[in-house]
């Protein structure tokens, strides 16, 4: 489990490099990705299905990304994009194509629908994560501003 | 050039930079509006879609200006987005003159970014990581690492020659699949499917999916639709590449592949 999380962190870090994330944010991105994987694995362990686990993991990722974006004064996309990739259903796309070629149509359909379900779970995870009002996160950002007097007076409200 | 035009140019250029590097629509729209307001232009209209910005200022006055920019979907570069965001924050606070803002925008455009070698290495690491996460063994991850590096090299070369993204996706996923199957023939004792999945994860439309959702749920249905369609088509292209490679391998006498 610990090795798995470490690998997830490293993979997310690699994605952060691929997406040209600013250097000083690499670490936060990686932590977010690792966290997402932990939640995913824990949910699976406690008997949630793959789709529901994906939903919870994406929700966590989105919320953490928003908190980080308020604290670090960065767009939340920076933390979200790299982290979400550990959950993207790559294996689903592969198995769908593979079974289709092997002419096992029912298994191919099942895999295809599962892929869409996982994509849908990611969609809803992000939506629920984004549904919380921005003002809560701005307040969080303002807390850190007080420590640094040079920081922004008026947060622009962009996440 | 009247002041209003200069402001319009700056604002739209900043928006263009955001959009080109993968920003969401509402971010682009808000940035353009805020920059205009910060330089005291209040009578404006901005419309942003995934591959274009349309903006006008002072329509009923002598110094009227309008601007249309076509912006093809490009490579994701979050560093530029963060920088432009910072610039727009400072402009909002009034810390930045028009000339200085233009200079910084130019500097941001020419930013060096990450070296190709680093990108290739990162891609390899990430392929290996995913291969491992999906249950591959150490040796599978090593092969995945090599294939990932090969794929990223191919992608970089293709992008520099302006090859269409769909062709790149099909050929890229076919290349990873073929490489993995050949390795499977040579070494036998590897989980070739995990290697393929690790390899193709770089091509996956995760970014288009996430950005598309954010656009859709901010009410930008057109832009969100464009992105989601992009995600769907990319997924289909990857599947086609994988499928074609497996089929050709079978026809060449590879026989049925055990799962």
Half-sphere exposure of B128 (CA within 13 A, CB side): 20
Q: What proportion of chain A, given as a percentage, has pLDDT over 70?
A: 90
Enter the pTM of the model: 0.82
Low-confidence ranges of chain B (pLDDT < 50): none
Q: How many angstroms separate the first and last alpha carbons of chain B?
A: 67
Q: What is the mean pLDDT of residues A71-99?
A: 85
Chain A: give the shortest CA distance to residue B126, in Å: 4
Q: Which of A22, A153, A156 sits opposite B34 (nearest CB)?
A: A156
Q: Sorting pLDDT into bands at 50, 70 and 90, what band is A85?
A: confident
Kindly list the residues from chain B whose CB atom is less than 8 angstroms away from the CB atom of residue A88.
201, 204, 206, 209
Kindly list the residues from chain B whose CB atom is less than 8 angstroms away from the CB atom of residue A84.
206, 210
Q: Which of B22, B123, B210 sits opposite A84 (nearest CB)?
A: B210
Torsion sign, CA atoms B192, B198, B202, B204: positive
ipTM: 0.81
Q: Sorting pLDDT into bands at 50, 70 and 90, what band is A156?
A: very low
Q: Which of B80, B92, B238 sits opposite A156 (nearest CB)?
A: B92
- Joined together, the tokens standing for residue B229 give 């369609």
Q: What integer pLDDT is reported at residue A55 of this predicted model?
A: 93
Q: Sorting pLDDT into bands at 50, 70 and 90, what band is A57?
A: very high
Kindly list the residues from chain A whose CB atom is less than 8 angstroms away from the CB atom of residue B138.
none
Collapsing DSSP to helix, strand or coil, B55 comes out as: strand
> pLDDT tens digit string along B17-60?
999 888 888 889 989 998 888 888 888 899 999 889 999 988 88
Residue of B nearest to A38 (CA): B133
Q: How is A64-106 classified by DSSP, letter by letter?
A: HHHHHHHHHTS-THHHHHHHHTTTS-HHHHHHHHHHHHTT-HH
User: Contact A18/B123, CB-based, under 8 Å?
Assistant: yes
Torsion of the alpha carbons at B111, B117, B121 and B126, rounded to the nearest 10: 40
Chain B: give the shortest CA distance to residue A117, in Å: 13
Kindly list the residues from chain B whose CB atom is less than 8 angstroms away from the CB atom of residue A73.
86, 89
User: Contact B123/A93, CB-based, under 8 Å?
Assistant: no
How far apart are alpha carbons B15 and B123 in whole angstroms? 29
- State residue B52 phi and psi, 5-degree precision: -170, 150
Residue of B nearest to A87 (CA): B206
Q: What integer pLDDT is reported at residue A151 of this predicted model?
A: 39
Q: Alpha carbon of A109 to those of A53, A84, B174: distances in Å?
A: 22, 25, 21
> pLDDT tens digit string along A89-147?
878 888 888 888 888 899 999 999 998 899 889 888 988 888 888 788 878 777 766 54
- Residue A43 CB: number of other CB atoms within 10 A? 19
- Judged against a pLDDT cut of 60, whether residue A155 lies above it is answered with no
Residue scoring higher pLDDT (A8 or A159): A8
Q: Which of A11, A14, A123 sits opposite B213 (nearest CB)?
A: A123
Nearest to B176 by CA among B112, B131, B111: B131
């Amino acid at each position: 489990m610990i090795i798995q999380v470490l690998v997830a962190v490293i993979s997310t870090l690699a994605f952060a490099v691929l997406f040209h994330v600013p250097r000083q944010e690499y670490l936060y991105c990686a932590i977010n990705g690792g966290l997402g994987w932990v939640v995913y694995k824990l949910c699976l362990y406690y008997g949630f299905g793959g789709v529901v686990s994906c939903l919870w993991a994406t929700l966590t990722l989105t919320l953490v990304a928003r908190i980080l974006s308020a604290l670090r004064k960065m767009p939340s996309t920076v933390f979200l994009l790299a982290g979400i990739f550990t959950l993207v259903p790559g294996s689903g796309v592969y198995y769908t194509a593979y079974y289709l070629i092997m002419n096992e149509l029912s298994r191919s359909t099942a895999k295809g629908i599962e892929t869409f379900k996982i994509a849908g779970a990611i969609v809803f995870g992000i939506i629920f994560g984004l549904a919380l009002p921005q003002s809560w996160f701005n307040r969080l950002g303002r807390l850190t501003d007080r420590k640094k007097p040079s920081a922004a007076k008026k947060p622009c409200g962009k996440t | 050039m009247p002041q209003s035009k200069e402001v319009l140019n700056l604002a739209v250029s900043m928006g263009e930079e955001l959009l080109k590097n993968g920003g969401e629509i509402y971010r682009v729209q808000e940035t353009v509006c805020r920059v205009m307001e910060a330089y005291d232009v209040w009578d404006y209209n901005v419309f942003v879609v995934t591959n274009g910005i349309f903006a006008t200022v002072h329509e009923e006055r002598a110094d009227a200006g309008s601007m249309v920019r076509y912006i093809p979907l490009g490579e994701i570069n979050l560093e530029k987005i963060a920088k432009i965001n910072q610039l727009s924050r400072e402009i909002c606070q009034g810390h930045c003159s028009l000339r200085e803002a233009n200079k910084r925008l130019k500097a941001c455009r020419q930013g060096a970014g990450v070296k190709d070698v680093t990108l290739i290495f990162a891609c390899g690491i990430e392929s290996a990581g995913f291969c491992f996460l999906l249950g591959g063994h150490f040796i599978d991850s090593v092969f995945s690492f090599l294939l990932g590096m090969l794929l990223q090299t191919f992608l970089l070369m293709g992008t520099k020659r302006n090859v269409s993204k769909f062709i790149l996706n099909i050929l890229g996923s076919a290349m990873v699949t073929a490489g993995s199957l050949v390795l499977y023939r040579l070494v036998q004792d590897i989980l070739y499917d995990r290697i393929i999945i690790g390899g193709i994860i770089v091509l996956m439309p995760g970014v288009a999916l996430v950005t598309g959702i954010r656009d859709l749920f901010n009410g930008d249905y057109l832009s969100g639709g464009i992105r989601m369609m992009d995600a769907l088509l990319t997924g289909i292209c990857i599947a086609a590449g994988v499928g074609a490679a497996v089929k050709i391998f079978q026809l060449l006498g590879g026989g049925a592949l055990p799962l």
